Each structure stands twice: as C-alpha cells, then as structure tokens.
C-alpha cells in the first residue's frame, strides 16, 4: 500500500519536532518551517498558501502548526481542527432528557476506556460528567491533533482524561490488571448513509482519514473477552454489531447497545 504524503508546515516552536518524530514511521513526511505569519491570516489567505504548496508538491494531507493550533487539511482544503476550549458546539453538548449515553455508561463515577477516540467529543462529554476517561485512537494524524489539543487546552487540565495511541484490541489485551476499567465504550464509524453530527466537509475528511472501521465486529469480539461492561454506539436504524446485547438505551437517532457479561 502506498504511504500517504503529509506536508507539515510549522513554526519554530518545540511541539513540531515531537509531532514530526511521531508521524515519520507512518507517512511520507515533507517538513518545512513556516515562511509566513499565520497570526491574523484570513481563511482566504491561508487557502492561497495551500494552493501554492499544492502546485509545487502534491500531498494527501497538510498539517499546519502554529503556536497553540494544529490544523489538518486535505488537498481539497477541507479542514479539521480540534479545540477543546472554544469549540462549544462539539465540546459543550447539553444533556438531553434521560440522556441515553449517560444512562448506558452508568450514573456513578466510572473509569471508562473509550476504544474509539475519534475527535473525542464523547470522551470529553463523559469527562464533563465526572467520569475518568482513557481514550485510544489508532490513526496517527488524528492522535496528533488530539494530543496537541489536549496539551494546549485549559479546560481539559481540570478533567481526568488522557489519550493513548494504538489499536484498542492490542491495548485491552495488554492491560495488566483486568479490573482497571469499569466500562469500555466503542463507537466505530457508522455506515455511509448515517446522518453525522459533523459538518459535511469535515465528515468527508474524517472518513478519508480513518476509513470505515470494517473490523468493528472483530474488535468487539476482543472487547467482550476483556470488559465486564461494553457499550456500543449504533445508528438507531442499524442492528447490533455481530453479538446480541444484554440491554440498550435509545434516542431518536442513536442507540447504545450494552453488553454486561459478568466478568
Ligand atoms: C466514529 S469515530 C469515533 C467518534 C468519537 N466517539 C467522538 O466522539 O469523536 C471512530 C474512531 O475510532 C477509531 N477506531 C476504530 N476502531 C479502533 C480501534 N480498534 N482502535 C483504535 N481506534 C479505533 C477510528 O480511527 C475513528 O477515529
């Protein structure tokens, strides 16, 4: 399989070498200091910079790091930025009546292992509701965005949430003490037709980045061997993944399948 090319434009700060070292094994990396000031740059001017780079060097993804920001673009200029502090739409969701997510995880404080971190919208929500969260993400670019956003976030300093890089199946197998987590939460990509909470362009880039999680049944099989309570998020119209749940909590669009397996 051809390695994807990532064009990494960065300032002179410390964060860039850490990100470069981390990404090197996974991508063909073109790494360059910013020759322009990002500060105060209007979106149009930023896109002109992207066009200029595209003309000389084609890339699959462009990563721009400046001060407190790390942003990801594809060559069609779709953009993903994770900002736990100012993106209220994604990271300050209100609780709905009888919130099925909170009911599925459980009311009292839990140690939750989120095995599909994604943009960490769900992980942050759980941490806001008093749970301790460890979230695992296997996509290196997405993990870099999460990690950087966590390091620069004021809000997350007050919360018990950490991000780990890797495949969750391997992560759960490697847990020395089996009772480390009260609950495992799994939210694999929904099938294509599902309506997404993300804006359309962001969703296209997100899918390009992580694919369709076609191994979700195999992952769930592993999780069920190691977790005493596993919660799986599904679109309301779709059936459970592979195995019959013990219970479920549902809202209009989403269902949380619960596997209590008495381990
Ligand atoms: C639908 S998204 C999760 C969205 C997330 N719940 C949120 O609130 O932003 C699925 C994510 O899980 C990741 N993923 C799926 N299976 C995984 C696995 N076995 N190990 C680690 N990450 C996984 C994918 O790379 C993708 O980023």
Question: How far apart (Å, rounded) are the C-alpha atoms in residues 33 and 220?
Answer: 42
Domain ranges of the chain: 5-77, 88-260
**Beta strand residue intervals within 153-197, DSSP E:** 161-165, 183-186
Three-class secondary structure of residue 238 per DSSP: coil
**Ligand 1 mean position to 56 CA, how many Å?**
33
Nearest CA to ligand 1 atom 5: 118
Q: Take residue 248 and report the two structure tokens written for it.
A: 């479920």
Q: What is the pLDDT of residue 89?
A: 87
Q: Which residues line ligand 1 (CB under 6 A)?
A: 115-116, 118-122, 136-139, 142, 167-169, 187-189, 210, 213, 219
Q: Would you write out the chain's pLDDT as a tens digit for each of its 263 residues?
A: 679 999 998 876 677 889 999 999 999 999 888 776 666 777 788 788 788 888 888 899 999 887 678 999 998 989 999 999 999 889 998 888 789 999 999 988 899 999 999 999 999 999 999 999 999 999 999 999 999 999 999 999 988 999 999 999 999 998 866 668 999 999 999 876 656 666 678 888 898 899 888 899 999 999 999 888 999 999 998 999 999 999 999 998 899 999 997 66
Q: Which CATH superfamily is domain 88-260 in?
A: Vaccinia Virus protein VP39 (3.40.50.150)
For 15-71, the three-class secondary structure string (H helix, E strand, C coil) is HHHHHHHHHCCCCEEEEEECCCCCCCCCHHHHHHHHHHHHHHCCCCEEEEEECCEEE
> Whose CA is closest to 185, among 149, 212, 220, 160?
220
Ordered DSSP codes for 88-135: HHHHSPPPPTT-HHHHHH-SS--EEEES--TT-HHHHHHHHTT-EEEE
Residue 223: other Cβ atoms inside 10 A? 23
Q: What is the pLDDT of residue 215?
A: 94
In this structure, the strands spanning 79-81 and 61-66 are unpaired
Q: What is the pLDDT of residue 196?
A: 62
**Ligand 1 mean position to 117 CA, how many Å?**
5
Residue 204 is inside which H or E element, if any?
helix 200-210
Q: Tell me which architecture the domain covering 5-77 has in CATH.
A: 3-Layer(aba) Sandwich (3.40)
**Ligand 1 mean position to 66 CA, how many Å?**
26
Q: Take residue 60 and report the two structure tokens written for it.
A: 């699959």
Q: What is the pLDDT of residue 194?
A: 56
């Amino acid at each position: 399989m051809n390695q994807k090319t990532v064009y990494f434009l960065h300032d002179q700060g410390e964060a860039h070498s850490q990100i470069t070292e981390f990404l090197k094994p996974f991508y063909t990396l073109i790494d360059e200091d910013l020759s322009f000031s990002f500060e105060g740059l209007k979106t149009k001017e930023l896109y002109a910079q992207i066009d200029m780079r595209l003309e000389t060097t084609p890339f699959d993804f462009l990563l721009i790091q400046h001060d407190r920001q790390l942003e990801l673009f594809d060559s069609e200029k779709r953009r993903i930025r994770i900002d736990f502090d100012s993106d209220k739409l994604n990271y300050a969701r209100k609780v709905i009546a009888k919130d099925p997510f909170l009911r599925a995880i459980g009311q009292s404080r839990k140690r939750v292992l989120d095995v599909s971190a994604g943009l960490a919208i769900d992980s942050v929500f759980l941490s806001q509701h008093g749970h301790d969260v460890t979230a695992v993400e296997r996509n290196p670019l997405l993990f870099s965005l999460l990690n950087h956003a966590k390091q620069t976030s004021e809000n997350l300093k007050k919360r018990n949430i950490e991000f780990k890089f890797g495949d969750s199946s391997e992560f759960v197998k490697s847990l020395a003490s089996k009772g480390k987590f009260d609950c495992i939460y799994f939210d694999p990509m929904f099938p294509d037709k599902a309506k997404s909470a993300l804006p359309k362009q962001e969703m296209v880039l997100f899918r390009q980045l992580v694919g369709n999680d076609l191994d979700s049944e195999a992952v769930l099989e592993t999780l069920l061997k190691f977790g005493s309570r596993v919660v799986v998020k599904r679109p309301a119209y779709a059936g459970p993944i592979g195995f019959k749940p013990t219970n479920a909590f549902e809202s209009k669009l989403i269902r949380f399948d619960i596997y209590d397996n008495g381990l």
